[in-house]
Amino acid sequence: MGIAMKETVLKKFEEVFGDSEGVKVFFAPGRVNLIGEHTDYNGGHVFPCALTIGTYMAVKKRDDRKLRFYSMNFDHLGVIESSIEGLKPEKEADWTNYPKGVMWAFEKRGMKMDCGLDIVLNGNIPNGSGLSSSASLEVVTGFMLRELFGFDVTNVELAQIGQYSENNFNGMNCGIMDQFASAMGKKDNAIFLDTADLSYEYAPINLAGAKIVVTNSKVKHSLVNSEYNTRRSECETALAELQAVTDIKGLGDLTEEEFEAHKSAIKDETRVKRAKHAVYENRRTIRAVEALKNNDLETFGKLMNASHVSLRDDYAVSCSEIDVLVDAAWKVEGVIGSRITGGGFGGCTVSIVKDEAIEAFKEQVGKAYQEQVGKTPEFYVVEIGNGPCEL
């Protein structure tokens, strides 16, 4: 897969910029989160894994200060030009605001590029699927800058730089999970990450006789960014209200019992539900990883299902199309668990499905979705891959 993608992006580089002599090609993966959704900015735990799909970047240094970008995923936009001088977000810069944001964030840390670049991009993460194409693009940019210019940054710092640039350059108030999963991915392992202090451990994913299946709803509601930022501020307000009566740094510090004992401090019913999700989801994630270590897939699946119910009812980030996919999945024999994954309002579900049930899963879920939504979903049986690399 990687080799073919590398050839494709090099060929395109030659086509667009005239020659591929001395061009380097880099890759960073997308991610799927198995459980622990909307906990990463609430000081809780997450459990993502890197995928073998992601973003490929072919790049060559220039002898001036110019930046020229071309994406095979947005080829109708052609070459988008800017400069390494005065990097700032611009509407007409479109998708290039993501790599430019990372360059800007490197600069903020005193790491300045001494020349411009020609860049061709090709991603095989479906756009708007919620599998973190933006984080993958940020991480591949950071990894490329480190390799080409010899900047002294760790992979964890690449994740932090990616998050910082998305928050402060692109105005999307995301947590650290997506960038961390992309930068720190490890084949056949998920990452059990405590977002409060970035302590983490790799947990081998041994799904004896089952696979991870991602189902793409093919819908992306425009709510994602605005509603995401709203949820974040609702949780921040709820946290401040709880801090008046408890000594906590984040919602992830509370057990369910502690939350129930103190929730009357939150002065708004909606905020109570948002905070409840953050607290309970964090505890579910801790229990899910424990279950996996004990080879108890059944419990892991039940916790995934409970996670979906909480995201649908308390956090209100699901949507009718996703609920159709999840409800249909729950009815298929051999489905261990299924839930929405990612920011919400469309995108994908993640399911753990027994090998012998995968065909029935595709057929039954596909049929239900076609009947109720009038669209055909896409199914990806995914593999867990490594973090960024040079090809």
Show which residues are catalytic.
178
Is residue 330, in this structure, part of any structural domain at all?
Answer: no
Q: Quick one: what percent of the chain has pLDDT higher than 70?
A: 99
Instruction: Report yes or no on 288 lying in a domain.
Output: no
Residue at 317 is within a domain = no
24 assigned to some structural domain: yes
Region 318-326: mean pLDDT is: 96
Q: Tell me which amino acid residue 153 is.
A: V
- Mean pLDDT for 21-40 is 95
The number of distinct structural domains making up the chain is 1
Residues forming a β-bridge with 60: 118
* 151 pLDDT more than 70: yes
In this structure, are residues 214 and 379 in contact, taking their beta carbons and an 8 Å threshold? yes
Q: Can you tell me the distance from the alpha carbon of 334 to that of 280, in angstroms, rounded to the nearest whole number?
A: 26
Evaluate whether residue 23 is within a structural domain: yes
Q: Tens digit of pLDDT for each residue in 110-148?
A: 999 999 999 999 999 877 677 888 999 999 999 999 999
- Partners of residue 345 on adjacent β-strands: none
Q: pLDDT tens digits for 347-384?
A: 899 999 999 999 999 999 999 999 999 999 999 999 89
**Mean pLDDT of all residues belonging to the chain:** 94
Check residue 339 and give its pLDDT: 97
Q: Which residues pair with 201 in a beta bridge?
A: 192
Spatial distance between the Cα atoms of 219 and 348, rounded to a whole number of angstroms = 9
Of 23-37, 89-103, 130-144, 210-224, where does mean pLDDT reach its minimum?
210-224
Considering the domain boundaries, does residue 353 fall inside one?
Answer: no
Give the whole-number percent of the chain exceeding pLDDT 90: 86
Which residues form the domain of 153?
2-204
Residue 271 lies in a domain: no
Domain membership of residue 160 (yes or no) is yes
**Minimal CA–CA distance to 141: which of 55, 62, 65?**
55
Strand-pair partners of 379 = 215
For residue 114, the domain's CATH number is 3.30.230.10
Q: Could you tell me the pTM of the whole model?
A: 0.91
